[in-house]
Chain A
Amino acid sequence: MFKVSLRSLLSHKLRLALTATAIILGVTFVAGTLVLTDTIRNTFEGVLSNVDKGVAVQVKGATPATPSGRLLNQNLPLPESVLARVQKVSGVADAVGVVERSGVSLLQNGQVVGATDHAAMLGLNWVSDSQLSSFELTSGTAPRSADEVVINARAATNGHLAVGQQIQVSFEASAAQPFVISGIATFGGQASIATEGFALFTLPTAESLLEANNTFDVIDVSAQSGVTDLQLRDRVASALSGTGVQVQTGAQAASETEQNAVTDINEFIGTPLLVFAFVAVFVGSFLIANTFSILVAQRTQELALLRALGATRGQVFTEVITEAALTGVLASLVGFLLGILVADGLIHLVGSSAKLSVQPDALITSVLVGTIITVIAAALPARRATRIAPVAALREAQPEFQGLPRVRIACGLLLFLGGTAGLLQSLFTATATSGPNLSVLGLSVLGIFLGTALLAPILVRPVATVLGWPARFRGAPGRLAGENARRNPRRTALTSAALMIGLALVTAVAVITDSVEASINQALDGTVKAQLVVIAEGSGAFSPEVASTLRADPRLTDVSEIRGSDVLVGDIETNVIGLDTSNVSRIFSFSMTQGSAASIATGDTTIVDSTEAATENIHLGSVVTMTFPNGDKVTMTVGGIYTPDALISGYLVSLGTLNPHLTTARDSDVALNPAPGVSVASADASMLNDLRAYPQLSGLTKTQYKNLISAGLNTFLNLIYVLLGLAIIIAVVGIVNTLALSVLERTRELGLLRALGMTRGQTREMVAWESVIIALLGAVLGLAVGAGLGIALVSSLHSDGISQTAVPGNNLILYAVAAALFGIIASIFPAIRASRVDILRAVTSE
């Protein structure tokens, strides 16, 4: 039987190539993702293993905790006195304090230089003990005076900066200070820390510039020979006992950093890419299932002959499954190799010189995924093959036309309804803090897709009739195409279903982004009364200096700082926003359900959004305890409850209430209005003029802000198009495959039509129409399911401020048109084949 499989496989090279394409594309995505994440991780681990080798013990500040022990994921700064105490511990060779804070920008001629996308750099003090430092100068010298800075090699290349050059440095948009580049350095041999740049200063400069106020963020300790890291850690810990600071060995600290890095890589790169890879593979499985169904149908006579000659059902099943498994393994191997190439290409594309890391795990996962999916997809067709009666060898295959088996309808309904229920359940029972259960959500969507695919054959007849209706005006080709699309509803449905998945996901995302945009616009038009706003590019926080500068401008008024802080409210980690109460009514108009927004002007009073209030069971007059990053625990009274929107939600207090608990005051936004009698345009011009000293910041009018949001969402949508593009390409390959096999199956019929006077052009047109009908069926299903998914998701976010549900009609029309175009493209190759059937062979071969 194995021989039969192999021979059957090799004798149909085209069929093999088409089936394999789906698996290859899917596995390429999977393998590419795995190799890419392995490579990034490996590079990172490589860097970390070179770093801080000489650090025996590391001391970090205490972590604020709630009374029940819940930790805020932030460390308090270490007072300078701790360093002196550590240095006195016996066995300590050297101990140095390090200030390290993100938010540094290099400026030149009023422009941010050296960083991509205005991303902030890490600022640190230069540590001269090479045992305790992983920074190495590649040129120049260490910073020796207050105005010298060492920058990372990547920034130097990006910004065309060289040793000896004048430059300005600003920390979180504080006033820029002049510096001279004294040197250029690498970190663990790398031009930057992952993608983050860095700037190194003398300790006093770092302390003042980075506003460390005589504190350190970390103390690194080296050991005298003969003292183990563990011994030293225990000694340091006991010397510092009672202060709450954290003491770890260098190895522990390094593995913690590594753990965090790996988690980040998985969370931000690996997992999302794998989700899309899975979608591609899932779509591919439809193609495979369909191909094998068609093959089984076409080989009915051959398989029946095998049965007639005495092959058992088991042998027939094994025959089909073996063919699938062989295809799966071959295609997965090819996909894996292509995946390596793709990963390599991507790494080069982002300008990295990282060495590709190809792990056996990636190979095993890729081949397993590809093969298992293929075998599962082929299982149903293979089962159908076992049901072929030996007498079928003597019968002519007839078009299906018959109704669907009840079991299939029941399964389809069960999956669809179960999926819908699961989706709604996971969305609407989700709490603000934990979010929906993603595995339930994913499985529910999977169920909806599978259910729709199973039920789709029912829709083929009506939809093909409606969609085929315009085609009828094209005479015989359109007419016959409609009949052909309907002659085998399962085949048409399964082919469409593959396209449905990609389009449904695209549609859902489009509905979500459009709803988010509409909700933000509504919030801007409703809640936000300020005409102008200042934000940091790269959305960092910035110095209160900016607000002071703007306040001094007579053409501007109501300059209000918006200041955020992480906070633990009870045991829940969230953030609190401080508002300027003096003119809050001219900046925001909250829609209060209880109490008043003005209540926050009273000290230690907060207002909270109604969703949070409902989930946390908070009422007007309730008391909540907030734990701030500096360790302060403050009891606040709830003075009001407001309806959240897309821009503002959570706990709001006055700046006066917030400020005492902040180590450094940093604004996330500044909102303002034109002074009375000043037009928005001239106020805007004036604001931009004031902001010339802060190139990291953008001053925007409401319209500009809307455009910025819209552009950001569009970028996101485009990214989704690219990521789902592969799933859609696979679906298009599926249409090609189905049509090509159908054309093969209908050789005689096509020959007959040609003999009766159908021209080649008409024949091509007929195949194209059939393809368009299949694609449009996929589009109809995809748009409906996608809009449903999107609306469900958006509705579940209503209470979180996504109050608007917007279905982007233009996009949907665009997708349908695109689908029809894909249909035409998919038909090119099968149509040419169809128009070239040998009429004589077709009408004479028995």
Chain B
Amino acid sequence: MSVSQTAPGPPPPPAPPAPELVPIAARTVGAVKVYGRGETAVRALDGISADFVSHQFTAIMGASGSGKSTLLHCLAGLDRLTSGQTFIAGYELGRLTDRQLTLLRREKVGFIFQSLNLVPTLNALDNIVLPLTIAGRKPEPGVVEGVVQMTGLADRLKHRPGELSGGQQQRVAAARALVSRPEIIFADEPTGNLDSKAGGELLAFLRKAVDTLGQTIVIVTHDPFAASHADRVIFLADGRVVQEMRSPTADSILAVVRHLGD
């Protein structure tokens, strides 16, 4: 557990930066992450700078081992950079204490993991409102109902995760990520364990969240079809951003993936 390099003290909230022309939900500048030391050191992130614009759906792609998960974890405040900076909602994560990071995740960040996203003892509804319960907040009226409506899980809310299919579980996880209306949602291969139909449903749901609720979403995926739901695709290779694409289609993505694979 690394500790913030800056002097410890009361929560600093560094002043949010000056308003930009396009609002930025998350940003990383010169991100470097080195695992291990000496000869066995791995440079998982090798100087990545990227902005994630609010109300946008971004997909991160790249070969296995290219640093996608590492980037996501560092952006989301689950891990710390070796050097460089990351910001969420204007807060520089490297300056926050563990507790402040926890509170920031609670307030500003939503997650969807590849699998085992849910607390097995809680039913679907309780899982959905879990971030609010943890924060000791009451959901705003209508928000939960709205999100549940979008997931199409209204009749399964009293079921425990063990009684739901993988696709349903992922949709519950997505609903949970949405319900606290976070600044940004990170999803690491959310469709990785789903068949194409369930995967499609989940992606349609995420797309809808961006379009109708103005949610900001960043997903990591290997699937060009999944990435085609995004507004923008960032391609990584060996810990660096090697290409960017706006308004992608499955075909254009496939072309880049083929090219990078060469």
- B136 with A475: CB separation less than 8 A: yes
Provide the residues of chain A in CB contact with B109, threshold 8 Å: 757
The stretch of A444-452, A681-689, A837-845 in contact with B is: A837-845
- A757 with B102: CB separation less than 8 A: yes
Given A479-B133, A760-B99, does the pair A755, B105 have CB atoms closer than 8 Å?
Answer: yes
**How far, in whole Å, are A1 and B136 apart by their CA atoms in the complex?**
51
- A839 with B78: CB separation less than 8 A: yes
In chain A, what residue has the closest Cβ to B99?
Answer: A759
Provide the residues of chain B in CB contact with A839, threshold 8 Å: 78
**How far, in whole Å, are A281 and B26 apart by their CA atoms in the complex?**
59
- B113 with A843: CB separation less than 8 A: yes
Q: Return 5 A-B CB contacts under 8 Å, by A number.
A: A752-B113, A758-B102, A759-B99, A760-B99, A840-B79
- A476 with B121: CB separation less than 8 A: no
Residues on A lying within 8 angstroms of B by beta carbon are 396, 398-399, 401, 475-476, 479-480, 483-484, 486-487, 748-749, 752-760, 762, 836, 839-840, 843-844, 846
Provide the residues of chain B in CB contact with A749, threshold 8 Å: 119-120
Provide the residues of chain B in CB contact with A754, threshold 8 Å: 102
Report which of A748, A756, A840 forms a contact with B106, defined as CB distance below 8 A. Answer: A756
- B136 with A476: CB separation less than 8 A: yes
Which 3 pairs of residues, A with B, have the shortest CB-CB distance? A757-B106, A483-B121, A476-B134
For chain B, give the interface size range.
20 to 34
Provide the residues of chain B in CB contact with A401, threshold 8 Å: 160
In chain A, what residue has the closest Cβ to B135?
Answer: A757
Provide the residues of chain B in CB contact with A479, threshold 8 Å: 133
- B121 with A757: CB separation less than 8 A: no
> By CB atoms of chain B within 10 A, which of A480, A487, A757 has the most?
A757
The reply to whether the CB of B231 lies closer than 8 angstroms to some CB of chain A is no
The reply to whether the CB of B130 lies closer than 8 angstroms to some CB of chain A is yes
The reply to whether the CB of B49 lies closer than 8 angstroms to some CB of chain A is no
In chain B, what residue has the closest Cβ to A762?
Answer: B134
- A487 with B120: CB separation less than 8 A: yes
In chain B, what residue has the closest Cβ to A750?
Answer: B119
- B134 with A756: CB separation less than 8 A: yes
* Closest chain A CB from B142 CB (angstroms): 22
- A755 with B78: CB separation less than 8 A: yes
- A399 with B105: CB separation less than 8 A: no
Provide the residues of chain A in CB contact with B29, threshold 8 Å: none
* Closest chain A CB from B229 CB (angstroms): 23
- B116 with A748: CB separation less than 8 A: yes
Provide the residues of chain A in CB contact with B160, threshold 8 Å: 399, 401
Report which of B78, B113, B133 forms a contact with A475, defined as CB distance below 8 A. Answer: B133
The reply to whether the CB of B11 lies closer than 8 angstroms to some CB of chain A is no
- A399 with B162: CB separation less than 8 A: yes
The reply to whether the CB of B54 lies closer than 8 angstroms to some CB of chain A is no
**How far, in whole Å, are A840 and B113 apart by their CA atoms in the complex?**
11
- A399 with B121: CB separation less than 8 A: yes
Provide the residues of chain A in CB contact with B105, threshold 8 Å: 755-757
The reply to whether the CB of B131 lies closer than 8 angstroms to some CB of chain A is yes
In chain B, what residue has the closest Cβ to A748?
Answer: B116
Provide the residues of chain B in CB contact with A480, threshold 8 Å: 119, 121-122
Report which of A484, A840, A843 forms a contact with B121, defined as CB distance below 8 A. Answer: A484
- A840 with B120: CB separation less than 8 A: no
The reply to whether the CB of B156 lies closer than 8 angstroms to some CB of chain A is no
- B78 with A843: CB separation less than 8 A: yes
* Closest chain B CB from A513 CB (angstroms): 43
The reply to whether the CB of B82 lies closer than 8 angstroms to some CB of chain A is no
- Residue-wise, chain B 129-152 has the 8 Å CB interface mask toward A (1 for contact) of 011011110000000000000000
Provide the residues of chain B in CB contact with A844, threshold 8 Å: 69, 73
- B119 with A752: CB separation less than 8 A: yes
**How far, in whole Å, are A760 and B118 apart by their CA atoms in the complex?**
19
* Closest chain B CB from A567 CB (angstroms): 69
Provide the residues of chain B in CB contact with A476, threshold 8 Å: 130, 133-134, 136
The reply to whether the CB of B98 lies closer than 8 angstroms to some CB of chain A is yes
* Closest chain A CB from B200 CB (angstroms): 23
- A487 with B130: CB separation less than 8 A: no
- B116 with A396: CB separation less than 8 A: yes
**How far, in whole Å, are A752 and B1 apart by their CA atoms in the complex?**
17
Provide the residues of chain B in CB contact with A399, threshold 8 Å: 120-121, 160, 162
- B99 with A840: CB separation less than 8 A: no
- B130 with A756: CB separation less than 8 A: yes
**How far, in whole Å, are A759 and B97 apart by their CA atoms in the complex?**
12
List residues 87-129 of chain B with CB under 8 A from any CB of chain A: 98-99, 102-103, 105-107, 109, 111, 113-122
**How far, in whole Å, are A414 and B102 apart by their CA atoms in the complex?**
52
Known: A752-B117, A755-B111. 19 other contacts (CB 8 A): A396-B116, A398-B120, A401-B160, A475-B136, A476-B130, A476-B133, A487-B120, A749-B119, A752-B119, A755-B105, A756-B131, A756-B134, A757-B102, A757-B106, A757-B134, A759-B99, A760-B99, A840-B73, A843-B113
**How far, in whole Å, are A846 and B130 apart by their CA atoms in the complex?**
23
Provide the residues of chain A in CB contact with B116, threshold 8 Å: 396, 748, 752
**How far, in whole Å, are A749 and B107 apart by their CA atoms in the complex?**
19
Report which of A757, A758, A840, A846 forms a contact with B115, defined as CB distance below 8 A. Answer: A846
Report which of A396, A748, A759 forms a contact with B102, defined as CB distance below 8 A. Answer: A759
Provide the residues of chain A in CB contact with B113, threshold 8 Å: 752, 843
* Closest chain A CB from B45 CB (angstroms): 14
Given A475-B133, A762-B134, A844-B69, does the pair A756, B121 have CB atoms closer than 8 Å?
Answer: no
* Closest chain A CB from B86 CB (angstroms): 15
Provide the residues of chain A in CB contact with B1, threshold 8 Å: 836
* Closest chain B CB from A472 CB (angstroms): 10
* Closest chain B CB from A749 CB (angstroms): 6
Provide the residues of chain B in CB contact with A486, threshold 8 Å: 121
